[in-house]
Amino acid sequence: MIPAIMPTYQRTDIAFERGEGPYLYSTDGRRFLDFASGIAVTSLGHSHPALIKALNEQANKLWHCSNIFTIPGQQAMAERLVRDTFADTVFFGNSGSEAVELGIKMIRKYQHVSGSPEKTTIVCMNGAFHGRTIATIFAAGQKKLIDGFGPALPGFKHVSYANMNELRDAVVGDSTVGGILFEPIQGEGGYRSAPPEFLDDVRKLADEYGLLVMLDEVQCGNGRTGKLFAHEFSNMTPDIMATAKGMGGGFPVGACLATAEASKGMVAGTHGSTYGGNPLAMAVASAVWDELTKLGFLENVRFQGQAFHEGLERLVKAYPEVYVESRGVGLMAGIRLADHLETRQVVDFVRERGLLTVAAGENVVRMVPPLIITRAEVDEALIFLQDAAEEMKSKGRNSA
């Protein structure tokens, strides 16, 4: 018999009752240090007073009204994003998938109104994750995402992640290519980072061939890396950028940001969303943005991120039979396990003892603590990982 909840997730049986800062409390009374953050969502921790205040104040005034009316909170939030990023204009939606989906539409529309309607192909990268809609699964192209969901949606082709030679070959000699889409740091793919020079080179290639560059910063954006957006470690700016996860600190909100040029075909009637940018979402997103842009906030992310990475490096040195590589940038941290181990073993071990982490591709355990984390909590997490290494190391010996 099928469960009442469609069984598309492999769930553990822990249920949480409340959260406070970096900690979650389960219904059976246990406390967990939350380095999962709802998968890089609750960036200000749980029950942040400024977010509670913003949500409650707005809830007492107006929850929702249609985008056929003027929404002052949406106007204000868009202006802040335009002020603080490369973008000239913003469309608000409710999730990462929707933001990517709009970006895909925009690339096609841009080429269409620019006199190149044949340029419908978007070059994407292996190991990507862009969401769960039909377009975004075929943009990612991974077998486990698309299996059984054919016919394949045309208009995407794939190259190895951050491989400039393959990318150039995919663009040169294919007059149907209209854009390039990738994550500056792959999330589900295992926290692989593209070097900043790669981003700069993509920009040059795109300019040479009249292509739009779209970045998926759904996971790596909103301060996660120690910059507002991960591409700010390079010198380039994209034409289009999708973001979501950390943007609402747990309230569902996403956005597609773009330059005026890339948006030139997006006139009235070309896109819409019933809920996108509604007053509740905008009140919370605004409060999150207030915190992210406070003096010293991103410095703390970089500082704690560095301490965390140094700790992870120490673990890699001390337990090479368990941990083989530390990955990621800022507080988007991963540690890759030796091939004979499965991520589940480490994720389960530390969770039973009180630390929440998330498995990712390439045998990587992801750690995405709230950005308000302190050194004490970074050290606490490292001790859980060290305990796991001690356990896995002796397991390796027993089974040998």
Report in angstroms how near the CB of residue 400 gets to ligand PLP at its nearest.
37
Nearer to ligand PLP, 131 or 279 (CB): 131
C-alpha 112 chain-centroid distance: 29
Report in angstroms how near the CB of residue 264 gets to ligand PLP at its nearest.
25
Nearer to ligand PLP, 73 or 127 (CB): 127
Q: State how far the Cα of 31 lies from the Cα of 150, in Å rounded to an integer.
A: 43
85, 142, 219, 357: which one binds ligand PLP (CB under 6 A):
219
Nearer to ligand PLP, 219 or 286 (CB): 219
19, 45, 93, 96: which one binds ligand PLP (CB under 6 A):
96
Report in angstroms how near the CB of residue 394 gets to ligand PLP at its nearest.
35
85, 95, 286, 326: which one binds ligand PLP (CB under 6 A):
95
Concatenated DSSP letters for 239-260? SEEEE-GGGGBTB--EEEEE-T
Task: Look up tokens 């943005």; give the residue.
Answer: 289
Q: State how far the Cα of 372 lies from the Cα of 315, in Å rounded to an integer.
A: 23
Nearer to ligand PLP, 180 or 392 (CB): 180
Q: Which two tokens stand for residue 201?
A: 């080179």
Q: State how far the Cα of 213 lies from the Cα of 331, in Å rounded to an integer.
A: 25
Q: Are 35 and 356 in contact (CB under 8 A)?
A: yes
122, 218, 256, 382: which one binds ligand PLP (CB under 6 A):
218
Q: Determine what percent of the chain falls in helix, strand and coil, rounding each to the nearest 5.
A: 40, 20, 40
Q: Which two tokens stand for residue 191?
A: 């926290």
Nearer to ligand PLP, 242 or 388 (CB): 242
Q: Which two tokens stand for residue 383?
A: 């001790």
Q: State how far the Cα of 340 lies from the Cα of 131, in Å rounded to an integer.
A: 29
Q: What is the distance between the terminal CA atoms of the chain, rounded to a whole angstrom?
A: 41
Q: Is 58 in the site for ligand PLP (CB under 6 A)?
A: no
Report in angstroms how near the CB of residue 62 gets to ligand PLP at its nearest.
25
Q: Is 100 in the site for ligand PLP (CB under 6 A)?
A: yes
Site for ligand PLP in 232-251 (CB under 6 A): 244-245
Site for ligand PLP in 125-154 (CB under 6 A): 129-131
Report in angstroms how near the CB of residue 216 gets to ligand PLP at its nearest.
5
Report in angstroms how near the CB of residue 333 gets to ligand PLP at its nearest.
15
Concatenated DSSP letters for 197-254? HHHHHHHHHHHHHT-EEEEE-TTTTTTTTSSSSGGGGSS---SEEEE-GGGGBTB--E
Report in angstroms how near the CB of residue 353 gets to ligand PLP at its nearest.
27
Q: Is 356 in the site for ligand PLP (CB under 6 A)?
A: no
Q: Is 360 in the site for ligand PLP (CB under 6 A)?
A: no
Q: Which residues bind ligand PLP (CB under 6 A)?
A: 95-97, 100, 129-131, 183, 187, 216, 218-219, 244-245
